[in-house]
Amino acid sequence: MGWDVTQVGSNITTRKFVEHEIKLSYDGVYEAIKIVEGKNQYGQKAFYVALRKLEDGKVVALVYLTRRKNGAIAIKVIGESSGPAQIEAPASFIGLLSPTQDEWASQWRADCINHYISTKILKGVS
């Protein structure tokens, strides 16, 4: 799982580029039903993408990590079944996903929920 780098200049936002990449990769098979933008623990911009499979309605998650520099956007796509290290997806996003039997995806979802809860608790204490 390496990084794909594309020269885009400055006329397109990172989010629009990610939306374009999703459409290119999944059009006709999946539809993006939710894209949540945030930063991960490493300061990279992360996009949490919920994709609905058109054939059966099952909803799965992908994490798009992005870096932008000198008119180029680097993207790394990680499926939830790969157990991404990025666990900043909000509980409302995780709630959109279809049930899964995949051990890695289940653990990633639980980690996201636990991170979300601990973040809310810490904000309440401050």
For the stretch 56-87, pLDDT in tens is: 999 999 999 999 888 899 999 999 999 888 89
Residues 35-49 have pLDDT tens digits of 999 877 677 789 999
Which of helix, strand or coil describes residue 113?
helix
Query: Mean of the per-residue pLDDT values for the chain?
Result: 91
What are the phi and psi torsion angles at 20 (to 5°)?
A: -60, -45
The answer for residues whose C-beta is within 8 angstroms of residue 97's C-beta and 6 or more apart is 50, 59, 60, 61, 80, 109
The arithmetic mean of pLDDT across residues 24-34, rounded, is 96
Determine the pLDDT at residue 92: 93
Beta-strand ranges (E) seen in 54-125 are: 59-69, 72-79
Please, which pLDDT band fits residue 125 given cuts at 50, 70 and 90? low
Determine the pLDDT at residue 11: 85
Run of H or E including 114? helix 103-125
